[in-house]
């Protein structure tokens, strides 16, 4: 009788633990200095995989944690530009930044990783994207910015879940943005391999 009670109690405990485990949210795939990135993210109804994540630092100052989401894992920028489907770059701010300083860093990154001809072609879209920075008073530690490429729609930017700025239609513009982090002259040389999953 006592043995049966022990078996019944063990079975009940196991069932309770399994139920609790199922009810818990999935753990983040990557923790970057306390900033968490889920292993998948949904963009335009498509599930994307976390390709890689890392911390953007300037000298020794942590600026933001970044995560790249793609339809399939890729280890080079050349492979990424051939991918069909949506893409996402997710930034989680690690410090407060003015919109001017953040915007200037973006523009500098574009300049470093595009030719004069490319910049001339993309100038209207760069200007449109630049207006987004002007519409944001500043970025605070913990703010989340998502920059998405949605096929048939364009580049869309969200700050803390709210769309900011206008949609920019050309995929060449989104690829130019990605080269800020993944180009020949990336904003942070240690972040590039982290995003490509080669670090």
On average, the pLDDT of the chain sits at: 88
Count CA atoms closer than 13 A to 190's CA, side-chain side: 9
pLDDT of 162-177, one tens digit each? 999 999 999 999 999 9
Regarding predicted confidence, which is higher, 151 or 128?
Answer: 151
Calpha distance 90→146 (Å, rounded): 5
Residue 1 lies inside a defined structural domain of this protein: no
Note the pLDDT of residue 20: 43
Residue 63 lies inside a defined structural domain of this protein: yes
Regarding predicted confidence, which is higher, 199 or 20?
Answer: 199
Calpha distance 3→9 (Å, rounded): 10
Residue 142 lies inside a defined structural domain of this protein: yes
Residue 48 lies inside a defined structural domain of this protein: yes
CATH code at position 89 = 3.50.70.10
Regarding predicted confidence, which is higher, 89 or 26?
Answer: 89
Domain assignment of residue 60, given as a range? 27-195
pLDDT band of 22, cuts 50, 70, 90: very low
Residue 161 lies inside a defined structural domain of this protein: yes
Span 179-194, average pLDDT: 96
Pairing state between β 30-32 and 35-37: antiparallel
Calpha distance 162→145 (Å, rounded): 9
Span 136-157, average pLDDT: 95
* Sign for the pseudo-dihedral over CA of 67, 89, 144, 122: positive
Residue 37 lies inside a defined structural domain of this protein: yes
Note the pLDDT of residue 8: 54
For tokens 């207006």, what's the residue?
131
Query: Total structural domains in the chain?
Result: 1
Residue 75 lies inside a defined structural domain of this protein: yes
- Contact yes or no for 56/191 (Cβ under 8 A): yes
pLDDT band of 28, cuts 50, 70, 90: low
Regarding predicted confidence, which is higher, 111 or 25?
Answer: 111
Calpha distance 62→42 (Å, rounded): 27
For tokens 């949609």, what's the residue?
167
Regarding predicted confidence, which is higher, 10 or 64?
Answer: 64
pLDDT of 64-118, one tens digit each? 999 999 999 999 999 999 999 999 999 999 999 998 999 899 999 999 999 999 9
Residue 16 lies inside a defined structural domain of this protein: no
Q: 159, 113, 106: which is closest to 128 by C-alpha?
A: 106
């Amino acid at each position: 009788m006592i043995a049966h009670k022990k078996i019944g109690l063990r079975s009940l405990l196991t069932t309770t633990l399994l139920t609790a485990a199922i009810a818990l949210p999935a753990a983040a795939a990557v923790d970057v200095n306390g900033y968490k990135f889920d292993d998948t993210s949904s963009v335009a109804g498509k599930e994307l995989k976390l390709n890689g994540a890392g911390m953007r630092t300037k000298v020794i100052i942590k600026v933001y944690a970044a995560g790249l989401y793609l339809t399939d894992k890729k280890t080079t920028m050349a492979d990424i530009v051939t991918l069909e489907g949506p893409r996402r770059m997710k930034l989680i701010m690690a410090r407060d930044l003015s919109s001017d300083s953040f915007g200037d860093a973006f523009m500098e990154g574009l300049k470093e990783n595009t030719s004069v001809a490319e910049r001339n072609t993309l100038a209207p879209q760069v200007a449109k994207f630049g207006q987004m920075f002007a519409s944001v008073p500043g970025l605070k530690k913990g703010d989340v910015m998502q920059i998405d490429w949605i096929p048939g729609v364009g580049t869309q930017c969200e700050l803390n879940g709210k769309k900011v700025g206008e949609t920019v239609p050309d995929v060449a513009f989104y690829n130019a943005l990605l080269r800020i982090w993944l180009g020949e002259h990336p904003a942070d040389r240690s972040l590039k391999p982290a995003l490509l999953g080669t670090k």
